[in-house]
Amino acid sequence: MDQEPIVLLSSREIEKMRQAGRMAAELLDYLEPMVQSGVSTLELNDAAEEWTQARGAKSAPLGYPSGSDNPFPKSICTSVNEVVCHGIPSAKQILRDGDIINIDVTPLLDGYHGDTSRTFFVGEPSPLARKLVEVTEECMWRGIRAVKPGARIGDIGAAIQEYAEANGFSVVRDFVGHGVGRIFHSGPQIPHYGTRGKGKKLRPGMVFTIEPMINEGTYEVEILADKWTAVTKDRKLSAQFEHTIAVTQDGVEVLTLLPERVPAVGTV
Ligand code: MF3
Ligand code: CO
Ligand code: CO
């Protein structure tokens, strides 16, 4: 992936990405109140697919990657508890109080992908689950705040890794952020661990995701027999948050955030 050229998007294309990104954020807002004990992950999937189709968009995960002998079979990823990412929605998987669930959506609107995820609580979380989820969201924001022209890709990972490890958690190595635009996954790769000052320089017009997966125990993962579901090797909890961002002339723009949710200047 890293050898792929890094595409710089024009302001016209970034406007397209804003529209796809806003749709992705709205889709998560739509799904959030459905995250309740007794609901199956397939019900969340089917609601997402219907919502997306009604808006003239497609669910990029469905059948991805095209031409593969094992394409992703559903429209969203639902990753519960020890599932790190790429959980497959199923009628057999019923949410229970105390679960945590990451919902990862990627609507494809007018040729552009908006890729975002959040981890939600089902009912009341344990104190440890709450801490893991809160630390993971803060890790994502620390990574986002490291983005500006001239900064390096390693600055993002370093900011995330420091905060995760200072809180006693670990950073998944096997999945990374990625360039996104007309193509779902392109260069550059954005590791969520690393060293300040290392890696490629960020330039205005680069658009990529920051999507740290943070584990309660070991960072090692295993892939289940379905060849998609990634779980923690020790079966302890994992959480994730993801935004799609653009490098701007003087900083960063979060494309998968509704404009009314953008934190006040100085807090991003
Ligand atoms: N949305 C995921 C990401 O953040 C990718 C899911 S690929 C799928 O990169 F095929 F599993 F849907
Ligand atoms: Co992504
Ligand atoms: Co995603």
219-257 pLDDT tens trace: 999 999 999 999 999 999 999 999 999 999 999 999 999
pLDDT of residue 265: 60
Query: Using the 8-state DSSP alphabet, how is residue 93 labeled?
Result: -
Pull the structure tokens for residue 238.
């994992």
pLDDT digits (tens, 9 = 90+) for 61-118: 999 999 999 999 999 999 999 999 999 999 999 999 999 999 999 999 999 999 999 9
Any residues with CB less than 8 A from the CB of 243 and at least 6 apart, and which? 116, 140, 144, 209, 210, 211, 254, 255, 256, 257
- The pLDDT of residue 268 is above 70: no
Of 9, 18, 23, 91, the C-alpha closest to 54 is 23
What stretches of the chain adopt beta strand conformation (E)?
Answer: 58-59, 77-80, 83-85, 100-105, 107-109, 112-113, 116-121, 170-171, 177-179, 186-190, 207-210, 213-215, 221-223, 230-232, 238-240, 243-247, 252-254
Nearest atom in ligand 1 to the alpha carbon of residue 185 is 9
Strand partners, 213: 240
Q: Is 61 in the pocket of ligand 1 (CB under 6 A)?
A: yes
Mean pLDDT value of segment 26-36: 98
CA of 74 to the centre of ligand 3 (A): 13
Core vs surface per residue 17-34: b (16+ CB within 10 A) or e: bbbbbbbbbbbbeebeee
pLDDT of residue 168: 99
Q: Is 64 in the pocket of ligand 1 (CB under 6 A)?
A: yes
Whole-angstrom distance, CA of residue 132 vs CA of residue 150: 31
pLDDT of residue 264: 65
Q: Atom 3, ligand 1: which residue's CA is nearest? A: 115
- The pLDDT of residue 53 is above 80: yes
Q: Atom 11, ligand 1: which residue's CA is nearest? A: 86
Whole-angstrom distance, CA of residue 126 vs CA of residue 96: 13
Q: Which residues belong to the annotated binding site for substrate?
A: 86, 185
Whole-angstrom distance, CA of residue 242 vs CA of residue 244: 7
Contact 239, 201 (CB under 8 A): no
**If pLDDT is split at 50, 70 and 90, which confidence band does 5 have?**
confident
- The pLDDT of residue 263 is above 90: no
Strand partners, 203: none
Q: Mean of the per-residue pLDDT values for the chain?
A: 97
Mean pLDDT value of segment 140-146: 98
pLDDT of residue 3: 57
**Strand, coil or helix: what is 140?**
helix
pLDDT digits (tens, 9 = 90+) for 177-223: 999 999 999 999 999 999 999 999 999 999 999 999 999 999 999 99
pLDDT of residue 4: 76
CA of 266 to the centre of ligand 1 (A): 31
pLDDT of residue 120: 99
Of 117, 154, 150, the C-alpha closest to 136 is 117
Which pTM does this prediction carry? 0.97
pLDDT of residue 262: 75
**If pLDDT is split at 50, 70 and 90, which confidence band does 260 have?**
confident
Nearest atom in ligand 1 to the alpha carbon of residue 60 is 12
Measured from the alpha carbon of residue 77, the closest ligand is 1
- The pLDDT of residue 134 is above 80: yes
Contact 62, 76 (CB under 8 A): no
